[in-house]
Chain A
Amino acid sequence: MHQPESSTLQPLVDHAFRHASGRMKAILLRMVGPQRFDLVEDAVQDALLQALRTWAIQGVPQQPEAWLIRVAKHKLIDRLRRHARTDPLGEHLAQTLTAARDPDAHFSGECDDERLLLMFRCCGPGLPVETGLTLTLDAVCGFSAAEIARALMKREAAVAQRLVRAKRYLRKDPSPLSTPDPAAFHQRLPRVLAVLYAMFNEGYASHRGTQLLRTDLCDEALLLCGKLTAFLPQKQAPVHALVALMAFQMARFPSRQDEQGLPLRLADQDRSKWDTRLMRLGLAHFSAAASGNHRSRYHLEAEIAFCHISAPTMAATDWQRILNCYDQLWAQYATPVIALNRAVAIGHVQGAEQALTLLDVLEPDLATYAPYHLTRAHFLAITDQVAAACKALEQAQKCTSTAPSAAYIAHQISRLTHLNGRDT
Protein backbone atom coordinates (compact mmCIF):
# COMPACT_ATOMS: atom_id res chain seq x y z
CA MET A 1 0.00 0.00 0.00
CA HIS A 2 2.95 2.37 0.04
CA GLN A 3 2.81 2.35 -3.74
CA PRO A 4 0.61 5.07 -5.16
CA GLU A 5 -0.16 3.18 -8.37
CA SER A 6 -3.59 1.68 -8.90
CA SER A 7 -3.90 -0.62 -5.96
CA THR A 8 -4.85 -4.22 -6.35
CA LEU A 9 -6.55 -4.08 -3.00
CA GLN A 10 -9.19 -6.73 -2.80
CA PRO A 11 -11.76 -6.05 -0.12
CA LEU A 12 -11.92 -8.61 2.66
CA VAL A 13 -14.85 -10.95 2.13
CA ASP A 14 -17.69 -10.80 4.62
CA HIS A 15 -16.76 -12.25 7.99
CA ALA A 16 -13.24 -13.06 6.75
CA PHE A 17 -11.77 -12.24 10.15
CA ARG A 18 -14.37 -14.20 12.02
CA HIS A 19 -13.74 -17.33 9.99
CA ALA A 20 -9.98 -16.82 9.96
CA SER A 21 -10.05 -16.64 13.75
CA GLY A 22 -11.72 -20.06 13.97
CA ARG A 23 -9.36 -21.59 11.43
CA MET A 24 -6.25 -20.25 13.13
CA LYS A 25 -7.35 -21.55 16.52
CA ALA A 26 -8.04 -24.96 15.05
CA ILE A 27 -4.73 -25.16 13.20
CA LEU A 28 -2.66 -24.04 16.19
CA LEU A 29 -4.55 -26.26 18.61
CA ARG A 30 -3.61 -29.24 16.50
CA MET A 31 0.00 -28.20 16.79
CA VAL A 32 0.17 -27.62 20.54
CA GLY A 33 -2.74 -29.59 21.96
CA PRO A 34 -6.11 -28.56 23.40
CA GLN A 35 -4.73 -28.16 26.90
CA ARG A 36 -3.05 -24.94 25.67
CA PHE A 37 -6.31 -23.46 24.40
CA ASP A 38 -5.85 -20.22 26.32
CA LEU A 39 -2.42 -19.58 24.85
CA VAL A 40 -3.74 -20.27 21.36
CA GLU A 41 -6.67 -17.92 21.85
CA ASP A 42 -4.45 -15.13 23.08
CA ALA A 43 -2.00 -15.66 20.22
CA VAL A 44 -4.81 -15.50 17.68
CA GLN A 45 -6.21 -12.34 19.25
CA ASP A 46 -2.71 -10.82 19.21
CA ALA A 47 -2.45 -11.56 15.50
CA LEU A 48 -5.82 -10.01 14.76
CA LEU A 49 -4.91 -6.87 16.70
CA GLN A 50 -1.61 -6.68 14.89
CA ALA A 51 -3.50 -6.90 11.61
CA LEU A 52 -5.78 -4.11 12.78
CA ARG A 53 -2.89 -1.80 13.52
CA THR A 54 -0.74 -2.69 10.53
CA TRP A 55 -3.25 -3.15 7.72
CA ALA A 56 -5.02 0.05 8.62
CA ILE A 57 -1.93 1.97 7.58
CA GLN A 58 -0.07 -0.32 5.24
CA GLY A 59 -3.03 -1.98 3.62
CA VAL A 60 -4.42 -5.47 3.37
CA PRO A 61 -1.71 -7.89 2.21
CA GLN A 62 -2.13 -9.97 -0.93
CA GLN A 63 -2.67 -13.12 1.11
CA PRO A 64 -4.38 -11.95 4.26
CA GLU A 65 -4.92 -15.32 5.83
CA ALA A 66 -1.35 -16.46 5.25
CA TRP A 67 -0.18 -13.26 6.95
CA LEU A 68 -2.49 -13.86 9.89
CA ILE A 69 -1.54 -17.48 10.53
CA ARG A 70 2.15 -16.66 10.25
CA VAL A 71 1.86 -13.85 12.81
CA ALA A 72 -0.35 -15.97 15.08
CA LYS A 73 2.21 -18.75 15.01
CA HIS A 74 4.95 -16.34 16.07
CA LYS A 75 2.82 -14.85 18.81
CA LEU A 76 2.16 -18.38 20.05
CA ILE A 77 5.86 -19.18 20.07
CA ASP A 78 6.46 -16.07 22.18
CA ARG A 79 3.77 -17.07 24.64
CA LEU A 80 4.99 -20.66 24.87
CA ARG A 81 8.47 -19.37 25.74
CA ARG A 82 7.09 -16.97 28.33
CA HIS A 83 5.17 -19.81 30.01
CA ALA A 84 8.07 -22.27 29.84
CA ARG A 85 8.51 -22.21 33.62
CA THR A 86 5.04 -23.59 34.32
CA ASP A 87 4.82 -25.56 31.09
CA PRO A 88 8.17 -27.30 30.48
CA LEU A 89 6.97 -28.93 27.29
CA GLY A 90 6.20 -25.44 26.00
CA GLU A 91 9.82 -24.63 25.22
CA HIS A 92 10.11 -27.81 23.19
CA LEU A 93 6.90 -26.97 21.33
CA ALA A 94 8.19 -23.47 20.70
CA GLN A 95 11.26 -24.92 19.02
CA THR A 96 9.18 -27.34 16.96
CA LEU A 97 6.90 -24.55 15.84
CA THR A 98 9.83 -22.34 14.94
CA ALA A 99 11.28 -25.05 12.75
CA ALA A 100 7.93 -25.99 11.20
CA ARG A 101 6.80 -24.60 7.87
CA ASP A 102 4.12 -21.93 8.12
CA PRO A 103 0.77 -23.68 8.05
CA ASP A 104 -1.03 -23.48 4.76
CA ALA A 105 -3.99 -21.25 5.03
CA HIS A 106 -6.49 -20.39 2.37
CA PHE A 107 -9.72 -18.52 2.51
CA SER A 108 -11.77 -21.53 1.57
CA GLY A 109 -11.42 -25.20 1.01
CA GLU A 110 -8.99 -27.39 2.87
CA CYS A 111 -8.72 -25.47 6.09
CA ASP A 112 -12.37 -25.63 6.89
CA ASP A 113 -11.62 -29.20 7.88
CA GLU A 114 -9.69 -27.72 10.78
CA ARG A 115 -12.72 -25.75 11.92
CA LEU A 116 -14.90 -28.84 11.77
CA LEU A 117 -12.41 -30.90 13.78
CA LEU A 118 -12.45 -28.17 16.38
CA MET A 119 -16.22 -28.19 16.32
CA PHE A 120 -16.29 -31.89 17.11
CA ARG A 121 -14.10 -31.10 20.09
CA CYS A 122 -16.48 -28.39 21.25
CA CYS A 123 -19.46 -30.73 21.09
CA GLY A 124 -18.10 -33.42 23.37
CA PRO A 125 -20.33 -35.65 25.49
CA GLY A 126 -19.62 -33.85 28.76
CA LEU A 127 -21.15 -30.54 27.70
CA PRO A 128 -24.81 -29.55 27.49
CA VAL A 129 -25.93 -28.38 24.06
CA GLU A 130 -26.12 -24.72 25.07
CA THR A 131 -22.53 -24.78 26.30
CA GLY A 132 -21.43 -26.58 23.16
CA LEU A 133 -23.17 -23.87 21.15
CA THR A 134 -21.53 -21.04 23.11
CA LEU A 135 -18.12 -22.64 22.81
CA THR A 136 -18.59 -23.32 19.09
CA LEU A 137 -19.61 -19.73 18.43
CA ASP A 138 -16.48 -18.55 20.24
CA ALA A 139 -13.83 -21.03 19.19
CA VAL A 140 -15.01 -22.12 15.75
CA CYS A 141 -17.06 -19.21 14.48
CA GLY A 142 -15.01 -16.34 15.92
CA PHE A 143 -17.75 -14.51 17.82
CA SER A 144 -16.72 -12.47 20.83
CA ALA A 145 -18.44 -13.02 24.20
CA ALA A 146 -20.33 -9.77 23.69
CA GLU A 147 -21.54 -10.86 20.26
CA ILE A 148 -22.59 -14.26 21.60
CA ALA A 149 -24.47 -12.59 24.44
CA ARG A 150 -26.38 -10.42 21.97
CA ALA A 151 -27.09 -13.34 19.67
CA LEU A 152 -28.33 -15.67 22.40
CA MET A 153 -30.06 -12.98 24.45
CA LYS A 154 -27.93 -13.65 27.51
CA ARG A 155 -25.96 -11.43 29.82
CA GLU A 156 -22.36 -11.05 28.71
CA ALA A 157 -21.04 -12.01 32.16
CA ALA A 158 -23.03 -15.26 32.03
CA VAL A 159 -21.64 -16.07 28.58
CA ALA A 160 -18.09 -15.33 29.73
CA GLN A 161 -18.51 -17.67 32.70
CA ARG A 162 -19.92 -20.40 30.54
CA LEU A 163 -16.97 -20.06 28.21
CA VAL A 164 -14.49 -20.35 31.08
CA ARG A 165 -16.10 -23.60 32.20
CA ALA A 166 -16.33 -24.91 28.64
CA LYS A 167 -12.68 -24.20 27.94
CA ARG A 168 -11.68 -25.97 31.10
CA TYR A 169 -13.50 -28.98 29.70
CA LEU A 170 -11.85 -28.52 26.32
CA ARG A 171 -8.41 -28.43 27.88
CA LYS A 172 -9.05 -31.75 29.60
CA ASP A 173 -10.51 -33.56 26.61
CA PRO A 174 -8.08 -36.40 25.98
CA SER A 175 -9.44 -37.54 22.63
CA PRO A 176 -6.99 -36.85 19.82
CA LEU A 177 -9.48 -36.25 17.00
CA SER A 178 -6.51 -35.29 14.88
CA THR A 179 -7.41 -37.57 12.03
CA PRO A 180 -10.93 -38.51 11.02
CA ASP A 181 -11.77 -41.46 13.23
CA PRO A 182 -15.11 -42.91 12.14
CA ALA A 183 -16.06 -44.27 15.55
CA ALA A 184 -15.35 -41.03 17.39
CA PHE A 185 -17.20 -38.98 14.82
CA HIS A 186 -20.16 -41.28 14.91
CA GLN A 187 -20.36 -40.89 18.66
CA ARG A 188 -20.23 -37.11 18.61
CA LEU A 189 -22.21 -36.39 15.48
CA PRO A 190 -25.65 -36.18 17.16
CA ARG A 191 -24.33 -33.55 19.56
CA VAL A 192 -22.71 -31.61 16.71
CA LEU A 193 -26.00 -31.64 14.80
CA ALA A 194 -27.87 -30.56 17.91
CA VAL A 195 -25.50 -27.60 18.30
CA LEU A 196 -25.85 -26.62 14.63
CA TYR A 197 -29.63 -26.94 14.90
CA ALA A 198 -29.60 -24.75 18.02
CA MET A 199 -27.38 -22.19 16.29
CA PHE A 200 -29.73 -22.03 13.33
CA ASN A 201 -32.77 -21.85 15.57
CA GLU A 202 -31.36 -18.90 17.46
CA GLY A 203 -30.83 -17.03 14.24
CA TYR A 204 -34.24 -17.94 12.92
CA ALA A 205 -36.25 -17.25 16.05
CA SER A 206 -38.70 -14.53 15.33
CA HIS A 207 -39.75 -13.70 18.83
CA ARG A 208 -36.54 -12.59 20.49
CA GLY A 209 -34.06 -9.77 20.12
CA THR A 210 -34.34 -6.46 18.34
CA GLN A 211 -33.87 -7.98 14.92
CA LEU A 212 -36.22 -10.58 13.61
CA LEU A 213 -33.59 -12.65 11.93
CA ARG A 214 -30.04 -12.82 13.06
CA THR A 215 -28.81 -14.08 9.75
CA ASP A 216 -25.20 -14.31 10.84
CA LEU A 217 -26.05 -17.29 13.02
CA CYS A 218 -28.09 -18.93 10.28
CA ASP A 219 -25.32 -18.33 7.75
CA GLU A 220 -22.73 -19.89 10.04
CA ALA A 221 -24.90 -22.89 10.82
CA LEU A 222 -25.67 -23.55 7.14
CA LEU A 223 -22.03 -23.09 6.15
CA LEU A 224 -20.69 -25.46 8.78
CA CYS A 225 -23.40 -28.04 8.23
CA GLY A 226 -22.83 -27.95 4.49
CA LYS A 227 -19.10 -28.48 4.92
CA LEU A 228 -19.84 -31.29 7.33
CA THR A 229 -21.48 -33.31 4.56
CA ALA A 230 -18.26 -33.25 2.56
CA PHE A 231 -16.05 -33.80 5.56
CA LEU A 232 -17.50 -36.93 7.12
CA PRO A 233 -15.90 -40.22 6.15
CA GLN A 234 -19.29 -41.75 5.33
CA LYS A 235 -22.49 -40.23 4.04
CA GLN A 236 -24.81 -39.42 6.90
CA ALA A 237 -28.40 -38.88 5.88
CA PRO A 238 -29.39 -36.76 8.91
CA VAL A 239 -26.66 -34.24 8.08
CA HIS A 240 -28.03 -33.81 4.56
CA ALA A 241 -31.52 -33.50 6.01
CA LEU A 242 -30.38 -30.73 8.36
CA VAL A 243 -28.71 -28.84 5.51
CA ALA A 244 -31.92 -29.17 3.49
CA LEU A 245 -33.98 -27.87 6.42
CA MET A 246 -31.73 -24.85 6.89
CA ALA A 247 -31.54 -24.07 3.19
CA PHE A 248 -35.33 -24.27 2.76
CA GLN A 249 -35.93 -21.98 5.75
CA MET A 250 -33.33 -19.49 4.66
CA ALA A 251 -34.72 -19.45 1.14
CA ARG A 252 -37.84 -17.86 2.61
CA PHE A 253 -36.03 -15.09 4.51
CA PRO A 254 -36.40 -12.40 1.82
CA SER A 255 -40.20 -12.50 2.12
CA ARG A 256 -40.60 -12.67 5.88
CA GLN A 257 -40.64 -8.96 6.60
CA ASP A 258 -42.37 -6.01 5.00
CA GLU A 259 -40.66 -2.73 4.11
CA GLN A 260 -40.92 -1.51 7.69
CA GLY A 261 -39.27 -4.63 9.04
CA LEU A 262 -42.49 -5.99 10.50
CA PRO A 263 -43.09 -9.73 10.21
CA LEU A 264 -45.48 -10.97 7.58
CA ARG A 265 -47.65 -14.02 8.01
CA LEU A 266 -46.86 -16.88 5.68
CA ALA A 267 -50.18 -16.35 3.93
CA ASP A 268 -49.22 -12.75 3.14
CA GLN A 269 -45.66 -13.41 1.97
CA ASP A 270 -44.57 -12.82 -1.59
CA ARG A 271 -43.24 -16.22 -2.64
CA SER A 272 -41.58 -14.83 -5.74
CA LYS A 273 -38.95 -13.35 -3.42
CA TRP A 274 -37.79 -16.74 -2.24
CA ASP A 275 -34.13 -17.47 -2.94
CA THR A 276 -34.02 -20.04 -5.73
CA ARG A 277 -30.35 -20.81 -5.23
CA LEU A 278 -31.00 -21.84 -1.64
CA MET A 279 -34.07 -23.79 -2.71
CA ARG A 280 -31.94 -25.75 -5.18
CA LEU A 281 -29.30 -26.36 -2.53
CA GLY A 282 -32.01 -27.61 -0.19
CA LEU A 283 -33.46 -29.90 -2.83
CA ALA A 284 -30.07 -31.42 -3.61
CA HIS A 285 -29.50 -32.25 0.05
CA PHE A 286 -33.11 -33.34 0.51
CA SER A 287 -32.57 -35.99 -2.19
CA ALA A 288 -29.25 -36.98 -0.69
CA ALA A 289 -30.98 -37.43 2.66
CA ALA A 290 -33.48 -39.90 1.22
CA SER A 291 -31.39 -42.96 1.98
CA GLY A 292 -31.77 -45.61 4.62
CA ASN A 293 -34.88 -46.36 6.60
CA HIS A 294 -34.62 -44.25 9.68
CA ARG A 295 -36.13 -40.78 9.41
CA SER A 296 -34.47 -38.51 11.91
CA ARG A 297 -36.20 -35.40 13.25
CA TYR A 298 -34.18 -33.43 10.72
CA HIS A 299 -35.70 -35.49 7.91
CA LEU A 300 -39.18 -34.78 9.16
CA GLU A 301 -38.58 -31.08 9.70
CA ALA A 302 -36.92 -30.84 6.29
CA GLU A 303 -39.94 -32.46 4.70
CA ILE A 304 -42.25 -29.97 6.39
CA ALA A 305 -40.07 -27.12 5.13
CA PHE A 306 -40.11 -28.75 1.72
CA CYS A 307 -43.92 -28.74 1.71
CA HIS A 308 -43.92 -25.00 2.27
CA ILE A 309 -41.16 -24.21 -0.16
CA SER A 310 -42.69 -26.25 -2.96
CA ALA A 311 -46.19 -24.81 -2.61
CA PRO A 312 -46.86 -22.04 -5.14
CA THR A 313 -49.46 -20.53 -2.82
CA MET A 314 -50.61 -20.91 0.76
CA ALA A 315 -53.81 -22.58 -0.43
CA ALA A 316 -51.85 -25.16 -2.42
CA THR A 317 -49.80 -26.27 0.59
CA ASP A 318 -49.98 -29.99 1.28
CA TRP A 319 -51.08 -29.65 4.88
CA GLN A 320 -51.96 -33.35 5.14
CA ARG A 321 -48.38 -34.27 4.35
CA ILE A 322 -47.21 -31.70 6.88
CA LEU A 323 -49.57 -33.18 9.47
CA ASN A 324 -48.21 -36.68 8.79
CA CYS A 325 -44.72 -35.37 9.52
CA TYR A 326 -45.84 -33.71 12.73
CA ASP A 327 -47.56 -36.92 13.79
CA GLN A 328 -44.25 -38.74 13.41
CA LEU A 329 -42.33 -35.96 15.12
CA TRP A 330 -44.78 -35.97 17.99
CA ALA A 331 -44.32 -39.71 18.36
CA GLN A 332 -40.56 -39.22 18.75
CA TYR A 333 -40.39 -35.87 20.53
CA ALA A 334 -43.52 -34.97 22.46
CA THR A 335 -42.62 -31.35 23.16
CA PRO A 336 -45.13 -28.51 23.57
CA VAL A 337 -43.71 -26.58 20.63
CA ILE A 338 -44.10 -29.56 18.31
CA ALA A 339 -47.66 -29.97 19.62
CA LEU A 340 -48.27 -26.31 18.82
CA ASN A 341 -47.02 -26.63 15.27
CA ARG A 342 -49.02 -29.81 14.83
CA ALA A 343 -52.12 -27.97 15.99
CA VAL A 344 -51.60 -25.47 13.17
CA ALA A 345 -51.49 -28.33 10.68
CA ILE A 346 -54.62 -29.86 12.24
CA GLY A 347 -56.32 -26.49 11.86
CA HIS A 348 -55.62 -26.49 8.14
CA VAL A 349 -56.61 -30.11 7.60
CA GLN A 350 -59.51 -30.61 10.02
CA GLY A 351 -60.63 -27.07 10.73
CA ALA A 352 -60.15 -24.25 13.22
CA GLU A 353 -62.32 -25.71 15.96
CA GLN A 354 -60.19 -28.85 16.12
CA ALA A 355 -57.09 -26.71 16.36
CA LEU A 356 -58.55 -24.60 19.16
CA THR A 357 -59.48 -27.69 21.16
CA LEU A 358 -55.88 -28.93 20.93
CA LEU A 359 -54.50 -25.52 21.77
CA ASP A 360 -56.52 -25.25 24.96
CA VAL A 361 -54.75 -28.34 26.28
CA LEU A 362 -51.37 -26.70 25.69
CA GLU A 363 -52.07 -23.55 27.68
CA PRO A 364 -50.16 -24.46 30.87
CA ASP A 365 -47.01 -25.33 28.92
CA LEU A 366 -47.02 -22.41 26.50
CA ALA A 367 -48.57 -19.56 28.45
CA THR A 368 -45.43 -17.44 28.13
CA TYR A 369 -44.73 -18.31 24.49
CA ALA A 370 -45.90 -15.58 22.13
CA PRO A 371 -46.40 -17.81 19.07
CA TYR A 372 -48.88 -19.89 21.10
CA HIS A 373 -51.12 -16.91 21.66
CA LEU A 374 -50.66 -15.74 18.09
CA THR A 375 -51.78 -19.15 16.85
CA ARG A 376 -54.85 -19.11 19.07
CA ALA A 377 -55.66 -15.60 17.92
CA HIS A 378 -55.42 -16.70 14.29
CA PHE A 379 -57.90 -19.56 14.68
CA LEU A 380 -60.20 -17.51 16.92
CA ALA A 381 -60.34 -14.82 14.27
CA ILE A 382 -61.15 -17.38 11.57
CA THR A 383 -64.13 -18.57 13.64
CA ASP A 384 -65.29 -14.96 14.14
CA GLN A 385 -64.51 -14.94 17.87
CA VAL A 386 -63.05 -11.44 17.60
CA ALA A 387 -63.07 -10.42 21.24
CA ALA A 388 -61.32 -13.63 22.27
CA ALA A 389 -58.86 -13.19 19.41
CA CYS A 390 -57.97 -9.69 20.60
CA LYS A 391 -57.44 -10.97 24.11
CA ALA A 392 -55.13 -13.65 22.78
CA LEU A 393 -53.18 -11.02 20.87
CA GLU A 394 -52.81 -8.97 24.04
CA GLN A 395 -51.47 -12.06 25.78
CA ALA A 396 -48.97 -12.43 22.95
CA GLN A 397 -47.89 -8.83 23.42
CA LYS A 398 -47.06 -9.51 27.05
CA CYS A 399 -44.82 -12.39 26.05
CA THR A 400 -42.96 -10.78 23.24
CA SER A 401 -39.67 -8.98 23.65
CA THR A 402 -38.86 -7.79 20.16
CA ALA A 403 -39.84 -4.41 18.82
CA PRO A 404 -40.91 -5.71 15.41
CA SER A 405 -43.10 -8.43 16.94
CA ALA A 406 -44.74 -6.00 19.34
CA ALA A 407 -45.49 -3.63 16.48
CA TYR A 408 -46.83 -6.51 14.39
CA ILE A 409 -49.17 -7.60 17.16
CA ALA A 410 -50.41 -4.08 17.74
CA HIS A 411 -51.13 -3.86 14.04
CA GLN A 412 -53.05 -7.16 14.11
CA ILE A 413 -55.14 -5.95 17.05
CA SER A 414 -56.10 -2.73 15.37
CA ARG A 415 -56.83 -4.56 12.13
CA LEU A 416 -59.18 -6.96 13.90
CA THR A 417 -61.00 -4.30 15.89
CA HIS A 418 -61.29 -2.10 12.83
CA LEU A 419 -62.75 -4.94 10.77
CA ASN A 420 -65.30 -5.47 13.47
CA GLY A 421 -66.12 -1.77 13.67
CA ARG A 422 -65.24 -1.63 17.32
CA ASP A 423 -62.66 0.39 19.18
CA THR A 424 -61.50 -1.34 22.31
Chain B
Amino acid sequence: MTKFLVLLHEPPPGESPISPEEIQAVIAKYVAWHQQLVDAGHMELGYKLTEEGGKRLLHQDGQVVVSDGPYSEAKEVIGGLFVIEAEDYEQAVALCRDCPHLDHGRIELRQVEPT
Protein backbone atom coordinates (compact mmCIF):
# COMPACT_ATOMS: atom_id res chain seq x y z
CA MET B 1 0.00 0.00 0.00
CA THR B 2 1.06 3.58 -0.67
CA LYS B 3 0.99 6.55 1.63
CA PHE B 4 -1.04 9.61 0.77
CA LEU B 5 -1.01 13.04 2.32
CA VAL B 6 -4.48 14.45 2.92
CA LEU B 7 -4.08 18.20 3.21
CA LEU B 8 -7.04 20.00 4.76
CA HIS B 9 -7.44 23.46 3.26
CA GLU B 10 -9.98 25.78 4.76
CA PRO B 11 -10.87 29.44 5.11
CA PRO B 12 -9.41 31.02 8.27
CA PRO B 13 -11.68 30.32 11.23
CA GLY B 14 -14.16 33.11 11.82
CA GLU B 15 -16.60 33.87 14.59
CA SER B 16 -19.22 31.27 13.90
CA PRO B 17 -22.08 31.19 16.38
CA ILE B 18 -22.18 27.44 16.81
CA SER B 19 -23.73 25.81 19.85
CA PRO B 20 -22.06 23.19 22.08
CA GLU B 21 -24.55 20.61 20.84
CA GLU B 22 -23.72 21.39 17.21
CA ILE B 23 -19.99 21.22 17.95
CA GLN B 24 -20.43 17.77 19.44
CA ALA B 25 -22.34 16.64 16.36
CA VAL B 26 -19.56 17.80 14.04
CA ILE B 27 -16.89 16.09 16.14
CA ALA B 28 -18.95 12.91 16.11
CA LYS B 29 -19.00 13.00 12.30
CA TYR B 30 -15.24 13.38 12.10
CA VAL B 31 -14.64 10.69 14.69
CA ALA B 32 -16.93 8.30 12.80
CA TRP B 33 -15.14 8.90 9.52
CA HIS B 34 -11.77 8.58 11.16
CA GLN B 35 -12.77 5.37 12.95
CA GLN B 36 -13.92 3.86 9.65
CA LEU B 37 -10.46 4.35 8.22
CA VAL B 38 -8.75 3.09 11.35
CA ASP B 39 -10.87 -0.07 11.40
CA ALA B 40 -10.08 -0.78 7.76
CA GLY B 41 -6.36 -0.20 8.35
CA HIS B 42 -6.00 2.98 6.25
CA MET B 43 -5.38 5.69 8.83
CA GLU B 44 -1.79 6.32 9.81
CA LEU B 45 -1.90 9.67 11.57
CA GLY B 46 -3.63 13.02 11.82
CA TYR B 47 -2.21 16.38 12.83
CA LYS B 48 -4.06 19.58 13.56
CA LEU B 49 -1.91 22.61 12.84
CA THR B 50 -1.84 25.57 15.20
CA GLU B 51 -3.82 28.65 14.33
CA GLU B 52 -1.08 31.23 13.84
CA GLY B 53 0.35 31.62 10.41
CA GLY B 54 3.57 29.74 10.95
CA LYS B 55 6.85 30.88 9.45
CA ARG B 56 8.07 31.30 5.92
CA LEU B 57 11.69 30.96 4.92
CA LEU B 58 13.16 31.93 1.59
CA HIS B 59 16.43 32.75 0.02
CA GLN B 60 16.48 36.38 -1.01
CA ASP B 61 19.37 38.57 -2.03
CA GLY B 62 21.89 36.01 -0.87
CA GLN B 63 20.42 35.31 2.54
CA VAL B 64 17.64 33.37 4.19
CA VAL B 65 14.70 35.61 5.01
CA VAL B 66 12.23 34.50 7.68
CA SER B 67 8.79 36.03 7.87
CA ASP B 68 5.51 35.25 9.54
CA GLY B 69 2.96 33.38 7.49
CA PRO B 70 0.12 35.67 6.36
CA TYR B 71 -2.57 33.89 8.33
CA SER B 72 -5.21 36.55 8.73
CA GLU B 73 -5.09 37.87 5.18
CA ALA B 74 -4.98 34.44 3.61
CA LYS B 75 -8.10 33.28 1.89
CA GLU B 76 -7.22 29.75 2.69
CA VAL B 77 -4.96 27.99 5.16
CA ILE B 78 -3.96 24.44 5.85
CA GLY B 79 -5.78 23.49 9.03
CA GLY B 80 -4.35 20.02 9.38
CA LEU B 81 -3.39 16.85 7.61
CA PHE B 82 -3.84 13.09 7.64
CA VAL B 83 -1.53 10.44 6.36
CA ILE B 84 -3.46 7.48 5.01
CA GLU B 85 -2.55 4.26 3.26
CA ALA B 86 -4.31 3.19 0.09
CA GLU B 87 -3.70 1.06 -2.98
CA ASP B 88 -3.85 3.97 -5.38
CA TYR B 89 -5.37 7.37 -5.99
CA GLU B 90 -8.67 5.80 -6.82
CA GLN B 91 -8.91 4.18 -3.44
CA ALA B 92 -7.53 7.24 -1.67
CA VAL B 93 -10.17 9.40 -3.30
CA ALA B 94 -12.87 6.90 -2.35
CA LEU B 95 -11.73 7.04 1.28
CA CYS B 96 -11.77 10.84 1.37
CA ARG B 97 -15.04 11.36 -0.42
CA ASP B 98 -17.10 11.47 2.76
CA CYS B 99 -14.55 13.20 4.95
CA PRO B 100 -16.51 15.83 6.92
CA HIS B 101 -13.82 18.39 6.17
CA LEU B 102 -15.44 18.81 2.76
CA ASP B 103 -18.44 20.41 4.50
CA HIS B 104 -16.45 23.59 4.93
CA GLY B 105 -13.12 23.27 3.10
CA ARG B 106 -11.26 21.48 0.35
CA ILE B 107 -8.94 18.48 0.42
CA GLU B 108 -5.69 18.15 -1.46
CA LEU B 109 -4.52 14.58 -1.91
CA ARG B 110 -0.87 13.89 -2.70
CA GLN B 111 0.82 10.54 -3.12
CA VAL B 112 4.06 9.91 -1.25
CA GLU B 113 6.88 8.51 -3.36
CA PRO B 114 7.39 4.88 -2.34
CA THR B 115 10.86 4.28 -0.86
- Mark A residues whose CB is within 8 Å of B: 1-4, 6-7, 9, 11-12, 15-18, 20-21, 48-49, 51-60, 142-147
Contact = CB atoms under 8 A, between A and B. Distances in A.
Query: Which bucket holds chain B's interface residue count?
Result: 20 to 34
A58 B48 contact: yes
A146 B17 contact: yes
Given A53-B80, A60-B27, A144-B21, 6 more contacts: A2-B45, A4-B44, A17-B20, A49-B18, A59-B34, A146-B19
Contacts of A53: 13, 48, 51, 79-80
Interface in B89-111: 100-101
Nearest to A2: B45
Interface in B20-74: 20-24, 26-28, 30-31, 34-35, 38, 41, 43-48, 51
Summarize A's interface: helix, strand, loop or mixed.
Answer: helix
Contacts of A6: 38
A147 B19 contact: yes
Contact of A17 (B21, B47, B79, B82): B21
Given A1-B34, A146-B17, A147-B19, A52 B48 contact: no
A51 B22 CA distance: 12
A56 B27 contact: yes
B35 A9 contact: yes
Contacts of B43: 4
B21 A15 contact: yes
A12 B13 CA distance: 24
B36 to A, nearest CB: 12
Contacts of A4: 38, 41, 43-45
A53 B100 CA distance: 12
Contacts of A54: 48
Nearest to A18: B20
16 contacts: A1-B34, A3-B45, A17-B23, A18-B20, A18-B21, A21-B20, A48-B20, A48-B23, A49-B23, A52-B18, A52-B23, A52-B26, A53-B79, A57-B30, A142-B20, A146-B19
